[in-house]
Amino acid sequence: MSVEENAAVSEIEEVLRKQEISPDDYLRIADLARKSAPERRTLQARMSGAQPGVSREEAACREAAYHWIVGRPDKVEETLKGVNTPAASFLRGVAAMDRGQFEEAVPLLKAAAEKFPDAAGPAAEYARALCGTGRVSEGMEVIGKLEASGKSSPQVLYCKAFCLEHMGDIEGACSLYERALEASPGYAPAVFRLAYHMDLRGEDGKAVALYKTIACEGSLFARAMCNLGLLYEDADNYDEAIKCYREALKADPGNERAALYLKNAIESLDMYYDETERKESERMEAILRMPVSDFELSVRSRNCLAKMNVRTLGDLVKKTENELLSYKNFGETSLREIKNLLESKGLHLGMARPDQAVRAHGRPGHGEGTDAILAKPISEIELSVRSRKCMAKLSIQTLGDLVQKTEKELLAVKNFGQTSLNEVKQRLAEFGLSLKSV
d(CA 435, CA 438): 9
Tell me how far apart the alpha carbons of residues 28 and 402 are, in angstroms, rounded to a whole number: 43
Q: What is the pLDDT of residue 233?
A: 87
pTM over 0.85: no
Q: Distance between CA atoms of 244 and 225, rounded to whole angstroms? A: 5
pLDDT for the residue 277? 52
pLDDT value at position 265? 83
- 3-class state of residue 161 by DSSP: helix
Predicted confidence at residue 281, as pLDDT, reads: 65
- Confidence (pLDDT) at 283: 78
d(CA 207, CA 18): 39
Rounded to an integer, what distance in angstroms lies between the CA atom of residue 261 and that of residue 349?
A: 24
d(CA 147, CA 317): 46
User: What is the CATH number assigned to the segment(s) 3-200?
Assistant: 1.25.40.10
The CA angle 149-151-152, to the nearest 5 degrees, is: 140
pLDDT score of 269: 65
Q: Does domain 201-272 have CATH number 1.10.1370.40?
A: no
Contact 418, 264 (CB under 8 A): yes
- Are the CB atoms for 420 and 387 separated by under 8 Å? yes
Size of the chain, expressed as the number of residues it contains: 438
- Alpha carbons 120 and 264: distance in angstroms, whole number: 44
288-344 topology per CATH: DNA polymerase; domain 1 (1.10.150)
Q: Which residue intervals of the chain bear CATH 1.25.40.10?
A: 3-200, 201-272
Q: What is the pLDDT of residue 274?
A: 44
pLDDT for res 275: 46
Give the pLDDT confidence score for residue 142 in this predicted structure.
94
CA distances from 144 to 120, 159, 163, 211 (A): 12, 11, 11, 30
Alpha helices in 237-369 (DSSP H): 238-251, 256-268, 275-288, 299-307, 313-316, 321-325, 332-344, 356-360
Q: Where in the chain is the domain with CATH 1.10.150.20?
A: 288-344, 363-430
pLDDT at 272: 35
| 3-class DSSP assignment, residue 377 | strand
Cα distances (Å, whole numbers) of residue 78 to 110, 179, 277: 21, 36, 33
Tens digit of pLDDT at every position of the chain (438 positions): 566 667 777 878 888 888 888 999 999 888 887 776 666 677 776 676 556 778 889 889 999 998 888 888 888 999 999 999 999 999 999 999 988 899 999 999 999 999 999 899 999 999 999 999 999 999 999 999 999 998 878 889 999 999 999 898 999 999 999 999 998 888 889 999 999 999 988 899 999 999 998 877 777 888 899 999 999 988 888 889 999 999 998 888 888 888 888 888 887 765 433 444 556 667 778 888 899 888 888 888 888 898 888 899 888 888 888 888 888 888 888 898 998 888 888 888 876 544 433 333 333 333 445 677 888 888 878 888 788 888 888 889 889 999 989 988 898 887 788 888 888 998 898 888 889 876
CATH number of 363-430: 1.10.150.20
